[in-house]
Chain A
Amino acid sequence: MEKNTRFYTLISLAAIGIIALPVGIANIVFGYMLGDSPCTSCWALRIMMIVVATSALFIIRYGLKLKYVGMMLIAAGYGLWNAFWHLGIYAQLDMGQGQALMILNIHTQMWAGIVMWTVIVLFGLILLFTAPTLEELVEDTKNKEYRELSKLNNITFVVFLVIVTSNAFQAFVAVGPPPFTGPDSPQRFTLNPKYISWGSLLPNVFSEPSWRGPMGVSDPDLSTSPAKEFNFNNDFADSPLKINKLLSIESKKEISLDLNAPINSIRFDKSSKKFAIATEDWGLYLCDKKLESIERYFVLDHLYFPVVLNFVGVDFVGDDIKVMGYNKAYITVKADDNADEVVGFADFYEGADKFTKVDRSMFQTLRAKTNYISSFVADDKYSYTISVPNNLNKSFILIKQSNADGMLSAELTPEIGYGVTLKKDRKLGELYVTALAYKNGKLYAASKNFNTIVVINTATDRIIDTYSFPSEIKNIRGLDFVNDELYVVSYQNDKNMLYILK
Chain B
Amino acid sequence: MEFLELSILILIAYLIWKKPEKEALAFKLFVGVFVLIAVVFFAIDIQFFMLPPMNL
Q: Which residue numbers of A lie inside 8 Å of B, CB to CB?
A: 40-41, 43-44, 47-48, 50-51, 54-55, 57-58, 61-62, 67, 71, 74-75, 78, 82, 84-89, 91-92, 145-146, 149, 154, 157, 160-161, 164-165, 167-168, 171-172, 175-182, 201-202, 204-216
- Is the beta-carbon distance between B50 and A209 smaller than 8 angstroms? yes
Give A154 to B13 CA distance when docked, in angstroms.
11
Instruction: Name, among B23, B26, B31, B51, the residue most crowded by chain A CB atoms within 10 Å (CB to CB).
Output: B51
B42 to chain A, nearest CB (A): 9
Residue in chain B with minimal CB distance to A157: B17
- Is the beta-carbon distance between B49 and A212 smaller than 8 angstroms? yes
Given A40-B45, A87-B52, A205-B47, 10 more pairs with CB closer than 8 A: A62-B23, A88-B53, A161-B10, A171-B3, A171-B6, A202-B40, A211-B49, A212-B53, A213-B48, A214-B49
Chain B residues whose CB sits within 8 angstroms of the CB of A54 once the complex forms: 9, 12-13, 30
Residue in chain B with minimal CB distance to A57: B16
Partner of B17, one of A57, A165, A180: A57
Q: How many residues in B have their beta carbons less than 8 Å from beta carbons of A?
A: 41
- Is the beta-carbon distance between B52 and A47 smaller than 8 angstroms? no
Give A180 to B3 CA distance when docked, in angstroms.
9
Chain A residues whose CB sits within 8 angstroms of the CB of B2 once the complex forms: 43, 47, 171, 175, 181-182
- Is the beta-carbon distance between B45 and A47 smaller than 8 angstroms? no
Partner of B6, one of A50, A91, A216: A50
Total residue contacts A-B, CB cutoff 8 A = 157
Give A179 to B43 CA distance when docked, in angstroms.
14
- Is the beta-carbon distance between B26 and A58 smaller than 8 angstroms? yes
Chain A residues whose CB sits within 8 angstroms of the CB of B53 once the complex forms: 88-89, 212-215
Chain B residues whose CB sits within 8 angstroms of the CB of A47 once the complex forms: 2, 5-6, 9, 37
Instruction: Name, among B2, B5, B50, the residue most crowded by chain A CB atoms within 10 Å (CB to CB).
Output: B2
- Is the beta-carbon distance between B37 and A74 smaller than 8 angstroms? no
| Closest A-B pairs by Cβ, 3 of them | A88-B52, A213-B49, A205-B43
Partner of B47, one of A167, A178, A208: A208
Chain A residues whose CB sits within 8 angstroms of the CB of B21 once the complex forms: 145-146
Chain B residues whose CB sits within 8 angstroms of the CB of A206 once the complex forms: 43, 46
Give A209 to B51 CA distance when docked, in angstroms.
11
Partner of A179, one of B1, B33, B37, B38: B1
A180-B1 contact, Cβ under 8 Å, with A44-B37, A209-B50, A215-B54 = yes
Chain A residues whose CB sits within 8 angstroms of the CB of B30 once the complex forms: 54-55, 58, 71
Instruction: Name, among B1, B10, B20, the residue most crowded by chain A CB atoms within 10 Å (CB to CB).
Output: B1
Residue in chain A with minimal CB distance to B14: A161
- Is the beta-carbon distance between A168 and B47 smaller than 8 angstroms? no
Partner of B4, one of A74, A89, A177: A177
Chain A residues whose CB sits within 8 angstroms of the CB of B6 once the complex forms: 47, 50, 164, 167-168, 171
Give A51 to B41 CA distance when docked, in angstroms.
14
Q: Report whether over half of chain A's contact residues are helix, strand or loop; otherwise say mixed.
A: helix
B51 to chain A, nearest CB (A): 5
B35 to chain A, nearest CB (A): 10
Chain B residues whose CB sits within 8 angstroms of the CB of A85 once the complex forms: 45, 49-52
Chain B residues whose CB sits within 8 angstroms of the CB of A180 once the complex forms: 1
A438 to chain B, nearest CB (A): 29
Residue in chain B with minimal CB distance to A180: B1
Give A178 to B47 CA distance when docked, in angstroms.
20
- Is the beta-carbon distance between B38 and A78 smaller than 8 angstroms? yes
Give A44 to B39 CA distance when docked, in angstroms.
11
B46 to chain A, nearest CB (A): 4
- Is the beta-carbon distance between B44 and A202 smaller than 8 angstroms? yes
Give A149 to B1 CA distance when docked, in angstroms.
32
Give A145 to B4 CA distance when docked, in angstroms.
29
Give A54 to B32 CA distance when docked, in angstroms.
13
Residue in chain A with minimal CB distance to B29: A54
Residue in chain A with minimal CB distance to B43: A205
- Is the beta-carbon distance between B26 and A178 smaller than 8 angstroms? no
A397 to chain B, nearest CB (A): 17
B7 to chain A, nearest CB (A): 6
- Is the beta-carbon distance between A88 and B51 smaller than 8 angstroms? yes
Chain B residues whose CB sits within 8 angstroms of the CB of A149 once the complex forms: 17
Residue in chain B with minimal CB distance to A369: B55
Partner of B46, one of A57, A84, A168, A210: A210
Chain B residues whose CB sits within 8 angstroms of the CB of A167 once the complex forms: 6
- Is the beta-carbon distance between A92 and B4 smaller than 8 angstroms? no
| A-B pairs with beta carbons under 8 Å apart, 25 shown | A40-B45, A41-B41, A48-B37, A50-B6, A50-B9, A51-B34, A57-B16, A61-B20, A74-B34, A75-B34, A78-B38, A82-B41, A88-B51, A157-B16, A161-B10, A161-B13, A168-B3, A168-B7, A179-B1, A180-B1, A201-B47, A202-B40, A206-B46, A209-B50, A213-B48
Give A202 to B46 CA distance when docked, in angstroms.
12
Chain B residues whose CB sits within 8 angstroms of the CB of A57 once the complex forms: 12-13, 16-17
Chain A residues whose CB sits within 8 angstroms of the CB of B7 once the complex forms: 168
Chain B residues whose CB sits within 8 angstroms of the CB of A207 once the complex forms: 47
